[in-house]
Structure 1
């Protein structure tokens, strides 16, 4: 079997882009239509992503003719983990489906021991991954990428 890394949806990358576009506006709201045009993504699809960012309180929607999306907090306070969890959720990566238990019904004790090790190692890996994502802010990513350039 070929190794396949944990996969995040393309919506996570798009959410990072949305935040960068909003941040580049210097507190001036950006509309869903503007985001859609810049990103070449349908407005209805973008609305699903922005909704998740609003629910996670990373952005807010300002009503009115001059309204649009703005950051709720500065990019220096928004971690990559916050963005990932806003889009992907915070459910554990590994959730046993009971396959091993069904296949090895007559080896219950061995299955429990083995699955305990698997769950522990998966949990450790997930914690390390989350710790890594929480250690970098969106502002740090932008600063590193731009090195003094404007968006």
Structure 2
């Protein structure tokens, strides 16, 4: 399983917002420029984050994006699920039953696979729900003191 680049982009957005100096929202155009994505694509990303309650998006001249909750409450699971949906590795198309329609144990085999992948999914959910954006920033920066920049004016 490989996540899309949307997860990485969401993480970058959270870092920008977490280090935004002023209480003013970070301009969407600035985020778009920094990520190298079109403004319309950025709106899709921020919309997904806003629906999950991770960011607030304000339109207008002084609008932009800001964090909706403290970094300690934003988990990797929140970001992954906002961008990708619920974690589910196994596609479960029912192929085993179709490929072996007369096989005595096909349904049982399919159930075994479903169970194995559900357990793996749960392990990932458990892990990602424990890792917060605050944890990542602290480890990445080596400090709990976040640098503060006004990204709206910083080039």
* TM superposition score normalised by structure 1: 0.89
User: How far is 1:63 from its partner?
Assistant: 3.5
Misfit runs of 4+, over 2 Å: 62-65, 148-151
Structure 1 stretches of 5 or more lacking a match? 1-5
Give the counterpart of 1:63 among 59, 62, 76.
59
* SS of structure 2 residue aligned to 1:14: helix
Deviations 1:72-116 (A, max 9, x none): 101111000000001101163224212111121111x40111111
The aligned counterpart of 1:88 is: 84
**1:1-151 paired onto structure 2 within 5 Å:** 6-26=1-21, 27-90=23-86, 92-107=88-103, 109-148=104-143, 150=147
SS at match of 1:69: strand
Structure 2: give runs of 5+ residues left out of the alignment: 149-155
Q: What secondary structure, in the 3-state scheme, does the structure 1 residue paired with 2:81 have?
A: helix
Distance between the aligned counterparts of 1:30 and 1:140, measured in 2? 22
| Larger helix proportion of the pair | 1
Deviations 1:99-137 (A, max 9, x none): 111121111x40111111111100000000111100110
Q: Secondary structure of 2:3's match?
A: coil
The Cα of 1:139 is off from its aligned counterpart by: 0.7
CA-atom RMSD, angstroms? 1.5
Q: How far apart in 2 are the matches of 1:140 and 1:98?
A: 39
TM-score (norm 2): 0.87
Pick closer, same or farther for the CA change 1:63–1:103 going to 2, 3 Å: closer
Relative contact order, higher structure (CA 8 A, sep 6+): 2
